[in-house]
Structure 1
Amino acid sequence: MKIPVRALIGFVGLALSTAVPAGTGERSAAQDPVVDAPAGSVRGVIEDNARKFRAIPYAKPPLGALRWRAPQPLPRWAGIRAAQSRGAACIQPPMAQGPYDRGAIDMSEDCLTLDVTAPENARNAPVMIWIHGGTLIWGSAQSAMYDGREFAKRGIILVSINYRLGVLGYLAHPELGRETAEGVSGNYGLQDQIAALQWVRRNIRAFGGDPHNVTIFGESAGALSVEYLMASPHARGLFGKAVAQSGYMFTMPELRNARYGEQSAEAIGVALAGKLGAKSIADLRAMDARKLSVASAMAGFLPYGTIDGHILKRQLVDTFDRGEQAPVPLIAGLNSGETRSLRQLLPPLPASADAYTADIRARYGDASDAYLRLYPATDPEQARLDASRDGIYSWAMERLARAQARLGQPSYLYLFSHSYPSADEAGLTGFHASEVPFIFGNFQATPPNWPRIPDDAGQRRIADAMLDYWTSFARTGRPIAQGASEWLPFGTDNAFMRFEGGPRMAQKFMPGVFDLHERIMCRRRASGAQSWDWRVGAYAPVLPVAGKGCA
């Protein structure tokens, strides 16, 4: 069982906000920076003492017969390409109102582009590649939130990438498999991300970057994408460090096998085509892209990576258990109030404390005592907020940190519990994606309904520390912030950094949370009949009895 469409409204990470302006003030073309890269020459702009190049294509646009094909390289273009104006977002359905809503945007199937922000005199600079969130349904590299000026001030080149979304990025179908030598389909958006990383490897030196010092980072679906890239053999060697902000590890559909209570990815694609009245892939390719995007979302199509034995070989939990992921240093973490802005995911409030206790005992059996200790009946509202947060994010991020530590890689964990008056007043303390404006040091470009962040010394202190930690990690693999606490690796007594008012180290990250949710996942996986996903509390299926290798 996947997340119902009604539950997804809000489960978006940070998708889009106001578009980045193409530039301000008077300038002459002679003053604009020109870079001659292997892909071709591009002309950008200088803003805030940084060179900015926008909407650079990294692959052929997936139009017409190329829809649902792997991204193809572009030949070198002639002349100097203008890279001064924002590009179009990839096709996506409208978003419902909420803190993430960004209003009307430009979008196109011709969207496989990236933005580069570089220090004016960059030379062999570390590179950070940002992968936006949005449930693999919404989002854009061109969000004003993702302006890279603060990274450039710290000597970092920031690359922000677009990738195909929704049905256009993740449809699997038997006909599509027959079009490829490998016999697989799906994962087109993930293949776009890999193509963007390959473009960076070939071209970033021309912008002053070090192609062998690349860090990938993303939030929500962007963090999930980081996990996919860590798991995919096709991305191996294209990055050397990773940051996952509020990622998750749900069950993925297998290409042709129905397993863990899921349909196969191909069966999902065939069913969707039937719902849309399409008899063939040719019929789907003939549909208007925007109408197809909206109709697919309304029909309940939810994009996920597909286990195809090629791009993704096995479930994420299995890949990381086997130590097959990229052996790279990692920062991972989450926010304290993740589900405060994702209330559609919360199980219903019980009629009484006794009803809640009885329901948990019926669903969780011999694991119910541990569940009720962590999520007691004395405060059912807080219990469902915390249980949903932990079942989706806390368990996954700690699992990721543990997996990298087992490989002998530096692994750093954080909890962002910082808030400010307007977020508290809205009941959104530490909400999903609330760390993003602090990571980018950009308080003024949040979406219209986002709780306003006061631009004062306290907020800047947090933002400066986070920027320092993130960029020093990209530079050396160690997160260091000037005048702030030393960030110890997770393996040091489950150490983690708490961002709240100011960064401070703490020990014993969320005692008991990982053990409970790992136990739940293990039993569901061992049964072969249940998925591990967002469902907790009154939404959870009855937990199977202990299986082989599971407590």
Structure 2
Amino acid sequence: MTPSLKALAAACLVGALLAPAAASAQTAPVVTAPAGAVRGVADGSVSAFKGIPYAAAPVGPLRWRPPAPAPQWQGVRDATRFGPACVQPVSPVRTIYSSDLGPTSEDCLSLNVWTPDVAGKAPVIVWIHGGALVAGSSKEPLYDGSTLAADGAVVVSINYRLGVLGWLAHPDLSAESPQGISGNYGLMDQIQALHWVRQNIAAFGGDPDNVTIAGESAGGLSVMYLMASPYARGLFHKAIAQSAYMISTPELKEARFGAPSAEDAGARLARTLQAPSTRVLRAMDAQEITNTAAMSGFAPFGAVDGKLLPGQLVDIFDRGEQAPVPILAGFNSGEIRSLRMLAPRPPAGAAEYERVIRERYGDLADDFLRLYPSTDMEESVIAASRDALYGWTAERLARSQTARGQASFLYLFDHGYPASDSAGLHAFHAAELPYMFGLLDRTPPLWPKIPQTAEEAALSAAMVDYWTSFARTGRPQAADAPAWTPYDASGAYIAFRDGPVMETGLMPGMYALHERAMCRRKADGTMAWNWNAGLASPVLPAAAPGCD
């Protein structure tokens, strides 16, 4: 079959998967699971069950407590509508990511299941949404699992507590805990959802012994938290991390790496809220707490508590203590084009750019300037910020799992189309999502519109196949597309451009530079490694043992 015919066939396939269900009535599917019976909705060959509670509502006096299993219900529960999104800040700014999430609630710990009608021991993909641990929801149209389900996977998308309601640590909350810890409630929610999947997914045709956790951005960060957490061990068997970032994270009780302890940050926020006790905090309006926390600069992250998160992610992965599972990881070439707030502003001239880089990077400056030259400062600033966060993390994950004897698959999404490229957003952050979900026509209102062409559909069809086959077997494969070679000494990776292409040696020198910079910061103990790269970097220490 010629490439054009292949593309046309893929377009027909994707179009069929995306077409609305026929108007004729279908029998509403009912599944009886250990949690209870649910009635969903059939859409062609796929059934969807929405808004299923996986944990009791952590509201009022239960706020900032570990999730408890949802009580079993009687009769058949209606599962035709999504549950509410978790409480999150109300933003007056509209971006390409903005969509109408409808009402929010603290009673938000629900999940959704898409299952093919031929399911039986089907691979399970548990999707964790992004949004900086502050925003987002499993109900976003871009996360609809119907196309992946039509390709043979059972897809689960989950809500988890966000912002201050999901990630607040505080000395009094730690004192309440039998384990002496606080924070990480959103991570606890994710683990509870995986327990629900373990106990119930077989009733939906899924294989509880073949579960892949997957997420993008903060969802990718969550995937790494779950890989690092002993409490999630055995609940999943593969991992997909898209645009993840292995940054330093607060310690629960100690100020380290340029950040206050998580408990101190929480106590400071409580003073801002004029809340002298956790009783007062729990009595406050959830939306008021959330908005005030966001405006005061409270940043939700997992806290190293010695229990759920035993250490910094880089240390856990360096020691080989993370989950020994195959991984598919990657990032987008234009990550920062839609996240300009993460990049420092270029200086007035090339001489100043080079002066600052030499001041900050010292003996690493020549390597930095070779990768990110002053001849095009704006592009260099964007690329340096991208690589320090996303590129370095993706390759680090591939290296780490390969070292653990697990198959690892690395990708670069470098695909643009007329609307994105004309807006200066070539392969922007999250641009791969419509393709790997097979939802080219379900993007948010301000998203650059994807043309409905055979070529775009062919790329999407390949990515859907790669993702679902990885979940099925641990080896990504796609019809009429290159075999995806595991990451190895050659640095094998796949680039998604106009189509998928196997290549080797991703951005030579990129990983080594940012690994050395991170290692020196960690050895120093007073510096974070996150968005403070390039022009925003602190002055790096001289070479440290084990770092060069």
Work out whether 1:244 is the aligned partner of 2:241.
yes
Contact kept in structure 1, 2:101 and 2:140, CA below 8 Å: no
1:180 shift after superposition: 1.2
Q: Residue type matched to 2:184 in 1?
A: N
Work out whether 1:332 is the aligned partner of 2:324.
no
Work out whether 1:456 is the aligned partner of 2:453.
yes
Q: Specify the alignment match of 2:298 in structure 1.
A: 301
Determine the C-alpha separation between the residues in 1 that align with 2:62 and 2:390: 35
Root-mean-square deviation (CA), in Å?
A: 1.3
1:104 shift after superposition: 5.7
Determine the C-alpha separation between the residues in 1 that align with 2:537 and 2:512: 17
The C-alpha deviation readout for 1:24-75, integer Å capped at 9, x for no partner, is 84647xx111111000010111013211100000010111111000000123
Determine helix, strand or coil for the equivalent of 1:94: coil
Determine the C-alpha separation between the residues in 1 that align with 2:425 and 2:476: 28
Q: Specify the alignment match of 1:404 in structure 2.
A: 401
Structure 1 residues 75 and 48 mapped into 2: Cα distance closer, same or farther (>3 Å)? same
Q: Choose from 366, 372, 375 the match for 2:372.
A: 375
Q: Specify the alignment match of 1:85 in structure 2.
A: 81
Q: Specify the alignment match of 1:10 in structure 2.
A: none
Q: Choose from 290, 295, 300 the match for 2:287.
A: 290
Identity of matched residues, % = 55
Q: Choose from 6, 30, 35 the match for 1:34.
A: 30
Contact kept in structure 1, 2:99 and 2:140, CA below 8 Å: no
Q: Residue type matched to 1:248 in 2?
A: Y
Determine the C-alpha separation between the residues in 2 that align with 1:383 and 1:75: 53
Q: Residue type matched to 1:154 in 2?
A: D
Contact kept in structure 1, 2:167 and 2:185, CA below 8 Å: yes
Q: Specify the alignment match of 1:16 in structure 2.
A: none
Aligned pairs (5 A) from 1:156-305: 156-305=153-302
1:547 shift after superposition: 1.7
Determine the C-alpha separation between the residues in 2 that align with 1:247 and 1:234: 21
The C-alpha deviation readout for 1:304-344, integer Å capped at 9, x for no partner, is 00000010000000000000000000000000000000001
Aligned length: 529
Contact kept in structure 1, 2:164 and 2:300, CA below 8 Å: yes
- 4+ residue runs over 4 A deviation: 22-26
Determine the C-alpha separation between the residues in 2 that align with 1:75 and 1:259: 40
Determine helix, strand or coil for the equivalent of 1:244: strand
Q: Choose from 515, 540, 544 the match for 1:543.
A: 540
Determine the C-alpha separation between the residues in 1 that align with 2:99 and 2:79: 23
1:141 shift after superposition: 0.5
Contact kept in structure 1, 2:174 and 2:180, CA below 8 Å: yes
Q: Residue type matched to 2:71 in 1?
A: P
Q: Residue type matched to 1:69 in 2?
A: R
Determine the C-alpha separation between the residues in 2 that align with 1:355 and 1:84: 59
Q: Specify the alignment match of 2:6 in structure 1.
A: none
Determine the C-alpha separation between the residues in 2 that align with 1:541 and 1:531: 9
Determine the C-alpha separation between the residues in 1 that align with 2:90 and 2:242: 24
Determine the C-alpha separation between the residues in 1 that align with 2:45 and 2:83: 22
Determine the C-alpha separation between the residues in 2 that align with 1:454 and 1:158: 26
Determine helix, strand or coil for the equivalent of 1:481: coil
1:281 shift after superposition: 1.0
Contact kept in structure 1, 2:223 and 2:240, CA below 8 Å: yes
Q: Specify the alignment match of 2:39 in structure 1.
A: 43
The C-alpha deviation readout for 1:386-435, integer Å capped at 9, x for no partner, is 00000110011111110000001000000000110000011000000000
Determine the C-alpha separation between the residues in 1 that align with 2:258 and 2:378: 29
Determine helix, strand or coil for the equivalent of 1:194: helix
Work out whether 1:394 is the aligned partner of 2:391.
yes
Contact kept in structure 2, 1:48 and 1:149, CA below 8 Å: no
Q: Specify the alignment match of 1:70 in structure 2.
A: 66
Q: Choose from 337, 347, 350 the match for 1:350.
A: 347
Contact kept in structure 1, 2:21 and 2:44, CA below 8 Å: no
Determine helix, strand or coil for the equivalent of 2:374: coil
Compare 313-322 and 483-492 and name the one that shifted more: 483-492
Structure 1 residues 24 and 94 mapped into 2: Cα distance closer, same or farther (>3 Å)? farther
Determine helix, strand or coil for the equivalent of 1:378: helix
The C-alpha deviation readout for 1:409-465, integer Å capped at 9, x for no partner, is 000000000110000011000000000000111022211110000111111111000
Determine the C-alpha separation between the residues in 1 that align with 2:311 and 2:437: 33
Determine the C-alpha separation between the residues in 2 that align with 1:248 and 1:24: 42
Aligned pairs (5 A) from 1:427-438: 427-438=424-435
Contact kept in structure 1, 2:101 and 2:137, CA below 8 Å: no
Determine the C-alpha separation between the residues in 2 that align with 1:263 and 1:212: 40
Q: Specify the alignment match of 2:507 in structure 1.
A: 510
Determine helix, strand or coil for the equivalent of 1:302: coil
Determine the C-alpha separation between the residues in 2 that align with 1:308 and 1:451: 41
Determine the C-alpha separation between the residues in 1 that align with 2:412 and 2:535: 26
After TM superposition, the score normalised by the length of structure 2 is 0.95
Contact kept in structure 2, 1:23 and 1:45, CA below 8 Å: no
1:516 shift after superposition: 0.4
Work out whether 1:115 is the aligned partner of 2:112.
yes
Structure 1 residues 475 and 427 mapped into 2: Cα distance closer, same or farther (>3 Å)? same
Work out whether 1:313 is the aligned partner of 2:310.
yes
Q: Specify the alignment match of 2:438 in structure 1.
A: 441
Determine the C-alpha separation between the residues in 2 that align with 1:291 and 1:458: 47
The C-alpha deviation readout for 1:129-182, integer Å capped at 9, x for no partner, is 000000000110111111111112111100000000000000000111111110
1:492 shift after superposition: 4.6
Q: Choose from 139, 142, 147 the match for 2:139.
A: 142
1:23 shift after superposition: 8.7
Runs of 5+ unmatched residues, structure 1:
1-19
1:292 shift after superposition: 1.0
1:102 shift after superposition: 1.4
Determine the C-alpha separation between the residues in 1 that align with 2:135 and 2:363: 40
Work out whether 1:94 is the aligned partner of 2:87.
no
After TM superposition, the score normalised by the length of structure 1 is 0.94
Q: Residue type matched to 1:157 in 2?
A: V
Determine the C-alpha separation between the residues in 1 that align with 2:66 and 2:205: 29
Determine helix, strand or coil for the equivalent of 2:409: strand
Contact kept in structure 1, 2:57 and 2:107, CA below 8 Å: yes
Q: Specify the alignment match of 1:12 in structure 2.
A: none
The C-alpha deviation readout for 1:465-485, integer Å capped at 9, x for no partner, is 000000001000000001110
Q: Specify the alignment match of 1:467 in structure 2.
A: 464
Q: Residue type matched to 1:128 in 2?
A: I
Q: Residue type matched to 1:485 in 2?
A: P
1:106 shift after superposition: 1.5
Determine helix, strand or coil for the equivalent of 2:64: coil
Determine the C-alpha separation between the residues in 1 that align with 2:425 and 2:538: 29
